[in-house]
Structure 1
Amino acid sequence: MLFRGFKRLSFTQQLTLPIAVVGTLVLGGIAALSVQDSFRDAKRTAQTLTLEMGRTYSQQIKTYLDKAFSQAEVVGRSLSMDVQNHLQDRNRAYLTLREVLNSDSQYLATWSAWEPNAYDGKDTQYMNSEMHEKTGRVYPWWVRQGDKIVYKTLLNEETPDLGDWYFQPMQSKQSMLVEPYKDTVNGKELVMTSAVYTIVQKGEAKGLVGVDISLDSIKNLVTEVRPFADSQSLLISDKMMVVAGPDQTAVMQPYQADADLQALIQRHEIGSLEVKSTRGKEMVLVVPVPIYDLEQNWTLVIRTPEKTILAAAYASLWRQLGFSLVGLLLLMSVVYLGAKRSEKKISTLSSGLTESSLGISEDLQHLNTTGGQLAEASTRAAASIEETVASLEEITSMVRLNTGNAQNAAVLSGESAKLAKTGETKILELVQTMAAIESSSQKIEEIINIIDDIAFQTNLLALNASVEAARAGEHGKGFAVVAEAVRSLAQRSASAAKDINQLISVSVTQVKQGTVMVRENGEVLKQMSASIDKVATLNQEIAGASQQQSAGIEQINVSINQLDQVIQRNASEAGEIVTAAANISEKSEVMNSTVKVLSAA
């Protein structure tokens, strides 16, 4: 309900209200911490001030009481020495007590009380004598009455019996400050006490020396112990009796306090605590007042209302609250004016954001669609790449096989080129041999022609010889026979030369044809050798290219594998793009709703 109510507020109110709450909390927290520190400092300062004042006045009270005790002790020790040295003199002792009383107007009386015959053993001699009562014991009692000092005995018609002031120190054998009591002096009721010195000899209490003092001076001192205007101070005896205080009806009455305060007083230690009273919460400081060298301790109790101690802190608090309130109002005014200006700017901005949000929504829808298509295309491409990788692996294996065959062909082509070179060399040698044979055949043909000419000439000669033999007749018959034989031989030689010539001609023709053919074969073989060289070179180049293709295909295979990974990653990222587009679309919707809220504000 609270959130719905907050949403119905205007932008200015929505901006101002949290700042007001936070500012209030911050300023309140700062004020609370500051006030807490102020309260703590105020309490610490009050405690320090009260303690210093308590110590000062407790020392004054102690000095006042100790003076009476020191006088009583001086007189008591003097009388004790007289007894020990057998120099007892009642008149001198009595006059000594009178001089002590006369020395200080605060003293109300001085006195001494001894056990029977404990002073000089002459009690019987002094029965009913001057300055003695019927028992004759040493009971001198000097009392101040106005400006006069009057002598009495401790036992008289007004005080027929000895009281606790006598029996307690005698039984305890300890000096003591008698519990305060009231008495009427010169028609005026006073609160007083007695500083009693106990004279002990050989372990036995022999007598007492006392100084009665009024507690009016102490009462005045206690009244002055006011660290604050409404502080109250009380002086408590060691028996928890009120010796002095602001309430006179409570004086000489048991001190009423809670258990914690009573326990603190009875410990005779300086301490403080907080208590509740009719005046509200109070800080109580307890300062013990040790009395002379006795085991007794009175206690000065100083009570101060907490509201008094914290008055300055409360005043500071109200000032801080005022300043904080003014500062908060100024802050709220500035925030309100700033929010108003911001509201106008935000209204303009929200219009632009609305248009941008619609454009972003359309772009995101397009991006979502494109991302989906890209994811689908990447998936298909990944499948195609996988098939391509498989095909490339097959092609790679075939290219590797072709590369091996090309390398083998290059080796064989190299060997064929070497054989072709050898054949070319042999053909060239054959061409040269055929050329030599052709040359020899021509020489033979020439020789045959010479032989044919010789045979022709021989035949002519033989014919001429025959003619001449025939002319010679019988003388020429033998020569005719020889001529005939020569002519026959010449004919046969001519015929043989002719046959040889024909054969030689045919052979020469054939040799020429063979030479031509050999030359042609040589040219063809040269061309074949050149072609084989080119084929070997091409085979080597093919083998190198096949190796490069194999390496290239392997690199392509690696690249396609990487491309496959990239496409798969792209497919994954395309899916992420779709998801991101969906998330951005959701955020765009949130921005749309925010813009609507801003527009509504």
Structure 2
Amino acid sequence: MKLATKVVCIVGLAATLATITSTRIAWKEIEEQGQSDLLSRSQAILNQLEGTRDYVAQQGGLAELMAQNALRYPDGNIPKDVKTQILKRVPIFAAMKVGQDQAVRTGYQFRVFSPEPRNAENKANAKEQVIFDRFQHDKDLKEIVTSDDDKIVVYRPVRLSEQQGCLLCHGNPSQSPFKNGKDVLGLPMENWEDGRLHGVFAITSSMEATHAASQASVKDIIRIALIGLFASVAIAWWILRKPMGTLRNAVSSIKNSSSQLTSASHEISNASQNLSASTTQAAAALEETSASIEEITSMVKRNTDNASTAKEISLHAMHTAKLGEGQIQTLIESMKQVADSAKKVNEITAVIDDIAFQTNLLALNAAVEAARAGEHGRGFAVVADAVRALAQKSAVSAKEISDLIRLSTEQIDNSYNFAVQSGDTLHAIVQEAEKVSTLNNEIAQASTEQNAGIEQISKAVHELDKVTQSNAASSEEAAAASVELSQQSDYLDEMVASVETVVDGNKKAS
């Protein structure tokens, strides 16, 4: 699709969206205005009904008429036509009559409902009961408005008014004109109070006319918008003809320049990449050589350090061996003393064992004597048993100590022999350590001289490697720049082709 076609389509789409939006807004405003008009009309009707009720109440005469008929018909059997005359003087009845008559002429629906009506047709349904309860719970609530897609309903409360004569029929039964608890119409008086909510007026207005008006308006708007849409598309197409030709020529010129730039950038890129590859190979070879020399230098330096360390370690080992030899001799003397002390402890343990044996015998004899003494020697027998038990425990402990000392003496003798052997071995180690120390000293001197020569070679190779690395980096940067230039030229070709496609539609660049 050509760019001009796209622009024209965009203009058409924008105009279409604007039409849809404006149509939607207009339809909504018309609907809202229709609802507002219906609400105002319903409120005006209710105001008229309330005005009728107040006017009839101000005319008065209801109480006098009821009193006259009560005297004329003391039995309460008032003729139907007379009842009708009385009803016409009732303010609420007059308002209801006007509402019903106006509903037939003006096309709205009028209804009065109550949960306790005298006329069964006015019995409140479930939905109406909810409205009634709202007025019942909120005495300050003067009006309720409900609406849906089909209708709008306005509700107003009807409360009893003593001033308007409502209690003449709905008041205290004791005030009955016939003294039978019934009003002049022959219906039971409910004993209700002034201000009680008795019913609700409802004016229902259909939204059908409003919907029809809004639909007609929307159709008019759509017709006008379609004319504007076609005009906008035609004007946009006419305006874009010349600029699109100029743009097409500019794209062709840019395309030719881009092709030449792409060819030149590819040649530069190939040359730069070849130079970079050669320089990189030379740098890699020199870097390997430098790394090998550095590795040799490191090894020689490590050998020198190790030789020096070995020299110090051998000297330290020789000194430590000599020190250990002296300590072994001291250990041997100490072990001799420990062995002698163990023998003395063994002798003392034997004496303790003998004492425990003698104590046991004495305790046994004491127990025998206590038994002979009978009841008088029982306490002494207990003590003798305790002494004998302690003597036996002492004998057991002395035997255990004797066994442990004997075992320790054997281990000390073995350790003494091992210590003598260790002393001989340490003496031999001291002699060998002196020889190793001499050899390490000679190795350290030779390694130091070798390390100095290798370091000079390493410095020279390192300087050469720096120069080569610098050249390689420069060649790589040049190659990267040439590749980037080549990529940018290719990208430019693609962009030019894309622009050409946008301008000329699905036609591909040649």
Greater share of residues in helix:
2
Flag the structure with more relative contact order, 1 or 2, with Cα contacts below 8 A and sequence separation at least 6.
2
TM-score (norm 2): 0.46
Greater share of residues in strand:
1
- Which structure would you say has the larger Rg? 1
